């Protein structure tokens, strides 16, 4: 695909591209259309030097769809921004999201994507990695692809937002514990509604089990998939600077922070675009 208004430079073979020549706080229609096309082509986009306000951040997100309000994380609600999730870590507050996942898959309609802006970056470390679930699916044998395509997985909040110590460990980012375990069911392989490509859709943070399998069968299959999908062959990695932004397609990627600098302050702010029911 060729672009007239933006420069798109892939950063890895499986996914990820850095986009330059844009101000996300001020995008005309033609430029936005190319950002949208690049998003579908590269699965995760990176932007540097985006010194934008929270309102501009939200307005950019709203061009992709309605914004999601997280049921258990609304740290900026009192400031008029319930749509923001904040990720903040330092010596006292360890990283959250340091395991592979896609966002909010415990809901029936998980997000289309998330848009993260770096407010404070550590001098080094605390990178984020993404993995392409198209690439992970396509690398499996025809037999395994067929088996997985007939399966449904149960996702829930039992290991995250419903955990007994959740509220305490996320007090500084406005975490509220889920009183009940929230559950959703999704196909193990989903078809992307815009590209038509197939992607693996189970993750170690929210997927609880494969429906209709015995616990040992489900655990063995899921553990195989979790080991498979984090192959470096399917990943890319982004080093944050202040005002860097990343936007990922939550329908065909997973991500995690690299928890390798446990003392330096890091702050990220995220808005999340609502998605549809996986099929």
Cβ-based nearer residue to Fe ion, 88 or 103: 103
With CB under 5 A as the contact rule, which of the stretches 47-55, 98-106, 158-166, 221-229 interacts with Fe ion?
98-106
Q: Which residue is nearest to Fe ion (CB)?
A: 103
Active site residue 255: yes
Distance of closest approach, residue 215 Cβ to Fe ion, in angstroms: 27
Of 57, 68, 70, 103, the active-site residue reads 103
- State the SS3 of the chain: CCCCCCEEEECCCCCCEEEECCCCCCCCHHHHHHHHHHHHHHCEEEECCCCCCHHHHHHHHHCCCCECCCCCECCCHHHCCCCCEEEEECCCCCCCCCCCECCCCCCCCCCCEEEEEEEECCCCCCCEEEEEHHHHHHCCCHHHHHHHHCCEEEEECCCCCCCCCHHHHCHHHCECCCCCCCEEEEECEEECCCCCCEEECCCCCCEEEECCCCHHHHHHHHHHHHHHHCCHHHEEEECCCCCCEEEEECCCEEEEECCCCCCCCEEEEEEEECCCCCC
Task: Choose, from 57, 186, 190, 255, the residue flagged as catalytic.
Answer: 255
Catalytic residue (choose from 42, 68, 81, 101): 101
The window from 99-107, 169-177, 200-208, 236-244 that contacts Fe ion (CB under 5 A) reads 99-107
Q: Nearer to Fe ion by C-beta: 27 or 97?
A: 97
Q: Which of 103, 107, 249, 269 binds Fe ion (CB under 5 A)?
A: 103
Instruction: Count residues near Fe ion (CB under 5 A).
Output: 2
Residues with catalytic function: 101, 103, 255, 270
Catalog residues that contact Fe ion under the rule CB under 5 A: 97, 103
């Amino acid at each position: 695909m060729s672009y007239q208004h933006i420069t798109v430079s892939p950063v890895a073979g499986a996914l990820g591209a850095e986009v330059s020549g844009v101000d996300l706080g001020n995008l005309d229609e033609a430029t936005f259309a190319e950002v949208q096309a690049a998003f579908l082509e590269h699965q995760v986009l990176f932007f540097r030097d985006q010194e934008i306000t929270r309102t501009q951040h939200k307005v950019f997100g709203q061009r992709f769809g309605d914004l999601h309000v997280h049921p258990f994380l609304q740290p900026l609600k009192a400031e008029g921004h319930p749509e923001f999730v904040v990720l903040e870590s330092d010596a006292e507050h360890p990283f959250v999201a340091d395991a592979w996942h896609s966002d909010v898959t415990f809901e029936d309609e998980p997000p289309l994507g998330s848009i993260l802006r770096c407010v404070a970056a550590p001098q080094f470390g605390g990178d984020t990695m993404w993995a392409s679930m198209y690439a992970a699916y396509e690398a499996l044998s025809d037999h395994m692809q067929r088996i997985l395509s007939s399966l449904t997985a149960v996702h829930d909040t039992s290991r995250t937002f419903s955990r007994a110590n959740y509220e305490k460990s996320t007090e500084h980012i406005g975490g509220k514990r889920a009183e009940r375990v929230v559950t959703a069911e999704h196909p193990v392989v989903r078809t992307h509604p815009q590209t038509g490509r197939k992607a693996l859709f189970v993750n170690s943070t929210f997927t609880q089990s494969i429906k209709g399998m015995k616990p040992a069968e489900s655990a063995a299959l899921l553990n195989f998939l979790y080991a498979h999908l984090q192959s470096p062959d399917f990943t890319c990695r982004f080093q944050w600077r202040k005002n860097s932004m990343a936007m990922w397609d939550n329908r065909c990627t997973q991500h995690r922070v690299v928890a390798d600098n446990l003392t330096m302050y890091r702050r990220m702010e995220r808005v999340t675009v609502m998605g549809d029911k996986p099929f």
